Amino acid sequence: MNNPLGVLFSPFTNKSLTLKNRVAMAPMTRTFSPDYIPGPHVADYYRRRAEAGVGLIITEGTTIPHKASNGYERVPAMHGEKALAGWKNVVDEVHAGGGKIIPQIWHVGAVRKAGVGPDKDVPGYSPSGLFKPGKETGVAMSKEDINEVIEAFAQAALNAKNCGFDGVEIHGAHGYLIDQFFWEGTNQRDDEYGGSLENRVRFGVEVVKAVRAAVGETFSIVFRFSQWKQQDYNAKLAQTPEELKAFLMPLSEAGVDIFHASTRRFWDPEFENSKLNLAGWTKELTGKPTMTVGSVGLDGDFVGDGNFDMRSTANPTGIDSLVDRMNKGEFDLVAVGRALLVDPEWLHKVQDNALDEIKPYTKESLMTLS
């Protein structure tokens, strides 16, 4: 008898990533790293998911070595001797638990407010000093600032490689810095980084190229992007498949190996006259492997930015439609967020068809590292 979940448990390989199955833990900010250092409790948190069968752990967002990259207290850094020692322990624990792990490297851009982070006087840095259309915050980046941030992304990626991570994910989604360059609503520049879609993608392309140069050709680079923003759930970078291709291909050619297409609901079609979701269209247009995400295993989507403030409650539900889409080759990997945050054993319970034993997600789940 065929296993209906077989595709979910088939192996996947891409350069430095060799996974035993197609399930990843999605990156979710947890703010449990005092002094920006991931401690043993963080290592235990990720190891529990690896021991419970999750093939790939994508860490919470980790800050790059730039003065304005941090937007929240107790978020771990991917720089500094103590933080990197903490990450080395996390990596070792996840590997001992049978999983693979990549960090998400992150700059929050205009989301940052003064009073946060190691240097609390630093303002937010962004393309045009805008948090969203009409709302000014922080400072607009000079070309020198842009070059410094690109170098900081590259250094963070190299730090991750030196810690023993299996690849790296660049956070280009949800209205943070890279996405602020992508989005016309927050990018009002009149130089080579603003205006046309080609110009607005340029910063992200240069980040990817710098990361690739730092980590080498055989180290897997995942790039997370989204149409929606925490500032505007209805925002769109691309209104048509043609525009999406124009956005994605420069990033693909710059060195992205896997696209992590972030949506609030994985089952939503991205464009009219097609059932493909954003990950499906991305694979169709670029030929690269893709990862889908968005309320997997839950009966409701989140409220918040998808990375920090997930306030809604949701109950467990089946994943038959997800598996059906994977069997059709729509996407290659699936990232599971809140369902894995609240229940480390989620994948085992799905495999055993024990959905009634899966813990429901509540906002109280954010209060502890279970």
Measured CA distances, 220 to 104, 164, 260, 287 (Å):
12, 13, 13, 16
Residue 265: closest CA among 320, 322, 225, 208? 322
Distance between CA atoms of 290 and 219, rounded to whole angstroms? 16
Encoding tokens for residue 187?
């990018």
Give catalytic residues, as residue numbers.
176
Distance between CA atoms of 165 and 100, rounded to whole angstroms? 8
